[in-house]
Structure 1
Amino acid sequence: MNTSTTTVATADAERVGPAFAVDGMLAARNKTRQALRDIAARVKPGMEEEDAVAMARQVLIDAGLTLSWHPTRVRFGRNTIKPMRQASEPGVVLQENDIFFIDIAPRHDAWEGDGGAAFVVGNQEDYARCAQDAEAVFHAARRAWSEQQLSGEALYAFAENEARQRGWELNFDLPGHRVSDFPHAAIHTGSLAEFEGVPSAMRWILEIHLRHPDHTYGAFFEDLLLEDSYYV
């Protein structure tokens, strides 16, 4: 692909819809992050995963958010290794020392939110480290993108190396994606990991899904790709 063609493809992939507004996108993000915290606070050992999903949906509805463009997910224990498009094993119950993650994609008015984070209950240090590392890899990759002007491809290569250095596998079945005023899929459906240009802020979701090499558990973190000032 020549330079002019690449430039056109990059611009096309980063188009927005007629309702796009920075304030709207940030409001959707803020409401999404708050909903993650509210859902996590209600997850307790002994809860079955399906009940946690139903609870999470209700939390979003009660917050005035619209259940939007991908299913609400809460995954416990051994289900935390599965790609998002793969159904959870049914009937998994959160144990006293366990790991879980939440993945939500609500809509606030015209704007898409998307967020995910991992949490632990009890005192399993390896689970805690995995959850912490998912967020750490996210921020390391995000800072490298901001400081080095990495392409989407280079951003995920960086993230893979960061994950490997910490002893985890990076799951490329979760390669990041566009986000916009709803619906982003009408604008662009390609992944961030395959994006040849330098992704712009406020346009992409960076997804980090870590898995233990023996595939017994994993952790997830995702958020809007933004500069440091938004994380102070």
Structure 2
Amino acid sequence: MEVAISSAEDVGPAFSVDGMLQARAKTREAIRTIAALVRPGMVEEDAVDMAKRTLIASGLDLTWHPTRIRFGRNTMKAMKQASEPGIVLQENDIFFIDMAPRFAAWEGDGGASFVVGQNAEYARCAADAEEIFHAVRKVWLEEQASGQELYRYAEQQARQRGWELNFDLPGHRVSDFPHAAIHTGSLADFAATPSGMRWILEIHIRHPEQQFGAFFEDMLLDDSSYIVA
């Protein structure tokens, strides 16, 4: 078991702490920039095209999974499911961004949810996705929980807030590109305490009855990398 855990957290020859943090910072900045350009009346496919152009213009490469923007009821879908085509963002709506760009040799990966107009449940869902992320991250920091334990805790947190956790987004490795050459297993299956700057924690929650959800993902890092309320 020790050999398997060790190999799961290996990195490639170009791995760099500074490089990984730069990739993360540029990814988070790109998410904010793209979100500010999304407007009611946009068709989801046009928003995705805009996001790709924005990423390239910012000096990032489109790499190891498609750039995704999900509008409205498409926010329910697992990442490997294709969006229903032609969905238009409404005046009061929810959307999320999910991207995995590359900066030089290093992988970025990030996602966040946003609300346009006024809808209290959409706003609560978007906020809860990020809050659950940080609650799980706190358990990782303070209790040295395994990846398996983190996702059990995430499910509890989602249910307490009235949401369902989508286990089709179970977290994954991140590294110097490509991490898939090192390890393709999920964080939710990892039986040991994950190391910092090696894993992406993904939280995708969905309303149990209505057609919307929210998503947040980022690298597992300590509090110094976040503004935590």
**TM norm. shorter chain > 0.5:** yes
Say if 2:131 is the partner of 1:136.
Answer: yes
Question: Equivalent of 1:223, from 214, 218, 229?
Answer: 218
Q: 2: distance between equivalents of 1:140 and 1:7?
A: 28
Say if 2:33 is the partner of 1:17.
Answer: no
Give the Å deviation of 1:215: 4.6
Moved over 3 A (4+): none
SS in 2 for 1:116: strand
Partner of residue 78, structure 2: 83
Give the CA RMSD over aligned residues: 0.5
SS in 1 for 2:97: strand
Q: Give the counterpart letter for 1:148 in structure 2.
A: E
Say if 2:54 is the partner of 1:30.
Answer: no
Structure 1 gap segments, 5+ residues each: 1-5
Q: 1: distance between equivalents of 2:93 and 2:33?
A: 19
Q: 2: distance between equivalents of 1:116 and 1:217?
A: 16
The answer on whether the counterparts of 1:32 and 1:106 sit within 8 Å (CA) in structure 2 is yes
Partner of residue 212, structure 1: 207
Q: 1: distance between equivalents of 2:76 and 2:210?
A: 6
Q: 1: distance between equivalents of 2:210 and 2:22?
A: 36
Q: 2: distance between equivalents of 1:196 and 1:115?
A: 23
Question: Equivalent of 2:99, from 95, 104, 121?
Answer: 104
Could you list the per-position Cα deviations for residues 3-59 of structure 1 after superposition, in whole angstroms to 9, with x for gaps in the alignment? xxx211110100000000000000000000000000000000000000000000001
Partner of residue 93, structure 1: 88
Partner of residue 203, structure 1: 198
Give the Å deviation of 1:158: 0.5
Say if 2:163 is the partner of 1:163.
Answer: no
Partner of residue 69, structure 2: 74
SS in 1 for 2:184: coil
SS in 1 for 2:98: strand
Say if 2:45 is the partner of 1:50.
Answer: yes
Q: 2: distance between equivalents of 1:44 and 1:151?
A: 40
Structure 2 gap segments, 5+ residues each: none
Q: 2: distance between equivalents of 1:189 and 1:121?
A: 35
The answer on whether the counterparts of 1:81 and 1:215 sit within 8 Å (CA) in structure 2 is no
Of stretches 45-54 and 215-224 in structure 1, the one that deviates more from structure 2 is 215-224
Q: Give the counterpart letter for 1:20 in structure 2.
A: F
Q: Give the counterpart letter for 1:164 in structure 2.
A: R
Give the Å deviation of 1:66: 0.3
Q: Give the counterpart letter for 1:85 in structure 2.
A: K
Question: Equivalent of 1:7, from 2, 5, 12?
Answer: 2
Give the Å deviation of 1:214: 1.2
Give the Å deviation of 1:137: 0.2
Pairs aligned (count): 227
Q: 1: distance between equivalents of 2:112 and 2:133?
A: 11
Question: Equivalent of 2:112, from 101, 109, 117?
Answer: 117
The answer on whether the counterparts of 1:146 and 1:227 sit within 8 Å (CA) in structure 2 is yes
Give the Å deviation of 1:229: 1.4
Give the Å deviation of 1:228: 1.1
Could you list the per-position Cα deviations for residues 42-91 of structure 1 after superposition, in whole angstroms to 9, with x for gaps in the alignment? 00000000000000000100000000100000000000000000000000
- Aligned sequence identity (%): 71
Q: 1: distance between equivalents of 2:21 and 2:38?
A: 26
Question: Equivalent of 2:169, from 159, 171, 174?
Answer: 174
Q: Give the counterpart letter for 1:79 in structure 2.
A: N
